[in-house]
Amino acid sequence: MKLERFAKGKLPANFFLTRGAGQMVQLKPITQLLNIKGSCIAGESTVLGVGKLAGFSPITDNKMTGNIDTNIDLKARLALEEIVDNDIVYVHVKAPDVKGHDNEPFEKVKSIELFDRMVGLIHDQLPENVYILIAADHSTPCEVGEHTGEPVPILIYGPGIRIDRNNKYNELDCAYGGLGRIKGFEFVTTLHDLMGKVKKQGN
């Protein structure tokens, strides 16, 4: 790296700045713990890396940009293809987070509309015995430009799921939904339970 910088007449690099650096721990992939198979569809390397740590097969394409110009149709098609041979398919959309950081509320609206269209494409062609779960890992309000701790809306849809009175997916309406307010691990454990992969407790 120094030689490349010297060749361009630039000063040498003398340190590396990492984002979210930490110490690697030994993790047993959830796919091994639950004896399941999964894939992760994303355009962002961080998400693909976490997916690999969890034991999910990474699925990506240069048309998945991690921004508002990502190819929603491709993600939907790949999700439908991957669910044929997998127990779980995780589909990630980064654009709403990016537009929140950039304080671009109208672009954020567009990115959420793209996400909505992608979910529709998947839902309309999904086998009846497959669940759909939707969530965000955090809020990124435009007026703040950073991650915040407000609750995010969640959705669980599929065979045998009790239907509540809510028919909208947003922060305000989901607050009154039948799922109430649960933590992230409880949300994921609920999926594993629906798959019959959670050890029963009590009687």
Per-residue 3-state assignment (H helix, E strand, C coil) for 58-104 = EECCCCCCCCCCCCHHHHHHHHHHHCCCCCEEEECCCHHHHHHHCCC
Q: What is the mean pLDDT of the chain?
A: 92
pTM, rounded to two decimals: 0.87
Q: Residue 203: its pLDDT value, please?
A: 60
Give the up-direction half-sphere exposure of residue 169: CA atoms within 13 A in the CB hemisphere.
14
Q: What are phi and psi of 82, to 5 degrees?
A: -70, -30
The predicted-structure confidence for 15-71, as pLDDT tens digits, reads as follows 877 877 788 788 899 999 999 999 999 999 999 999 999 999 999 999 999 899 999
Element (H, E) at 157: strand 155-157
pLDDT, tens only, 111-147: 999 999 999 999 999 999 999 999 998 999 999 999 9
Distances (CA, A) of 56 to 8, 39, 179, 199: 41, 4, 27, 22
